[in-house]
Amino acid sequence: MSLLEHPMGLKSELLTEFSEFEQVVFCNDQDTGLRAIIAIHNTAAGPAIGGCRMQPYPTMAEALEDVLRLAKGMTYKCAAADVDFGGGKSVIIGDPSTDKSPEMFRAFGKFVDSLNGRFYTGTDMGTTMEDFVHALKETNCIVGTPEMYGGSGDSSVPTAMGVIYALKATNKTLFGNDILAGRSYAIQGLGKVGYKVAEQLLEEGADLFVSDLDERLLEKITLKGKETGTQVKILKGDEIYSAEADVFVPCAVGGIINEETIEKLKVRAVAGSANNQLLHQKMGEKLQSRGILYAPDYITNSGGLIQVSDELYGSSKDRVLAKTKAIYYSITEVFSSAERNNLTTVEAANRMCEERIESRKRQNSFFLHNRRPKWDIRH
Ligand code: NAD
């Protein structure tokens, strides 16, 4: 456990920020092999909510760094979506293809339950809805399970829809109308979210450049393009960054907007679902100086959060749809606030969220278990 032996294994920036976190819990269960970390960043607006990522992190410090970054990001995402939840996240250290078992997820559920309603979780990269059906046997604090288990089902559906509304808002600002047709989009990643975004764009009459590591997904979207009569051009690896498209739509991994890729971009805007697209916040300034409009990722991809947080009030597809459509107005407001205040769009979005979080802090300094029934109809 390198972190315990070398607490300075954390990057200095996160070490300084560590005091911002309300609670960080290390979970070990020798019987099932579970090694997990739960990080609760801020519960001023309500209990923490955030998915559970499973990855074979090489060191405990890397797992801790990831969970802290992601938990803090969730505080901003909750504020941007204006839901009564705070930021949290969890990670399980292990290889999702070989190390999982139902017992491991039950053990994880017990640790989540021990937080007594301060943290709600569900799927993220490396975990599935089915994994959380096992965790649900030990705690009610699970969201995003299949509908037959009382959950709201696949969150990639509203996430993809939110990306589409963010693209419309981006087009409106760039081109004066929010029509998706007749424009071209470079989509990196055709997984659960990216494929749905690609399909919708083709149906609207847009042209696509696409990349994915999985050939089957590339073949499938090519067939879809033939059906809709629009262009689908497959690009290999890094070619996606220099695609001659109107908008780059990252829907795979984070950190892809960095010193190296930013120079290659020929697009007018970046708007996609991937979490933590900018390697550093400074990349927001670089994009702006190159005249590339950036739709902040945590607003663009908030449709999934909107759906799972809505579950706790009793799911309503109409309500989720209405709130997801509102991503259009949030992105538009961030673009105009950035323009008015001479900020990057990242700064404008952060400022909007920080004002909301401060206002909630003035009302509640932290979330208490005895207020839980007000939020979660299932308790
Ligand atoms: P996914 O695992 O279903 O899909 C990711 C796809 O990206 C896969 O098909 C994979 O082959 C491809 N990929 C990976 N690395 C690549 C690379 N270098 N180049 C091209 N393709 C690559 O994941 P998802 O659920 O679709 O999520 C995509 C992104 O959106 C992730 O960053 C995720 O954190 C974020 N996100 C997802 C949701 C959701 O509801 N699923 C919500 C918010 C944010």
pLDDT, one tens digit per residue, over 65-74 is: 999 999 999 9
Residues 6 or more apart whose CB falls under 8 angstroms from that of 241 comprise: 248, 256, 261, 264, 265
User: Mean pLDDT over residues 36-64, rounded?
Assistant: 95
Tell the residue nearest (CA) to atom 25 of ligand 1: 192
| Ligand 1: centre distance to CA 356 (Å) | 29
Q: Does the pLDDT value for residue 18 go beyond 90?
A: no
Q: Does the pLDDT value for residue 11 go beyond 80?
A: no
Tell the residue nearest (CA) to atom 11 of ligand 1: 213
Confirm or reject: Cβ of 303 under 6 Å from ligand 1. Answer: no
| Ligand 1: centre distance to CA 374 (Å) | 34
User: Mean pLDDT over residues 251-267, rounded?
Assistant: 96
Residue of 207 and 280 predicted with greater confidence:
207
Confirm or reject: Cβ of 157 under 6 Å from ligand 1. Answer: no
**Phi, psi torsion values for 202, nearest 5 degrees:** -65, -40
pLDDT at res. 125: 85
Pairing between β-strand 247-250 and β-strand 269-270 as defined by DSSP bridges: parallel
| Contact predicate 204/197, CB 8 Å | no
Collapse the DSSP code of 291 into the 3-class scheme (helix H, G, I; strand E, B; otherwise coil) and give the result: coil
The conformation of residue 322, written as its DSSP 8-state character, comes to: H
Confirm or reject: Cβ of 275 under 6 Å from ligand 1. Answer: yes
pLDDT at res. 1: 39
- Percentage of the chain modeled with pLDDT above 90: 81
Q: Does the pLDDT value for residue 242 go beyond 70?
A: yes
| Ligand 1: centre distance to CA 195 (Å) | 10
Catalytic residue at 233? no
pLDDT at res. 4: 42
Confirm or reject: Cβ of 214 under 6 Å from ligand 1. Answer: yes
- Residues 65-109: tens digit of each pLDDT: 999 999 999 999 999 999 989 999 999 999 999 999 999 999 999
pLDDT band at 63 (very low <50, low <70, confident <90, very high): very high
User: What is the average pLDDT score of the chain?
Assistant: 91
- Residues 147-201: tens digit of each pLDDT: 999 899 889 999 999 999 999 999 999 999 999 999 999 999 999 999 999 999 9
Of 16-20, 148-152, 187-191, 253-257, which has the strongest mean pLDDT?
Answer: 187-191
Q: Does the pLDDT value for residue 130 go beyond 90?
A: yes
Of the candidates 163, 226, 157, 220, the residue with the CA atom closest to the CA atom of residue 190: 220
The one catalytic residue among 11, 72, 77, 89: 89
Confirm or reject: Cβ of 192 under 6 Å from ligand 1. Answer: yes
pLDDT band at 221 (very low <50, low <70, confident <90, very high): very high
Query: Residue 341 is encoded by which pair of tokens?
Result: 């205040």
d(CA 234, CA 342): 37
d(CA 372, CA 25): 20
Lowest mean pLDDT, pick from 173-177, 243-247, 279-283, 312-316: 312-316
Mutation choice for ligand 1 from 125, 261, 310, CB with most ligand atoms inside 8 A? 125
- CB atoms near residue 377 (< 10 Å): 11
The amino acid sitting at 196 is K
pLDDT band at 2 (very low <50, low <70, confident <90, very high): very low
pLDDT at res. 368: 58
Q: Does the pLDDT value for residue 375 go beyond 70?
A: no
Residue of 175 and 361 predicted with greater confidence:
175
Tell the residue nearest (CA) to atom 15 of ligand 1: 252
Confirm or reject: Cβ of 376 under 6 Å from ligand 1. Answer: no
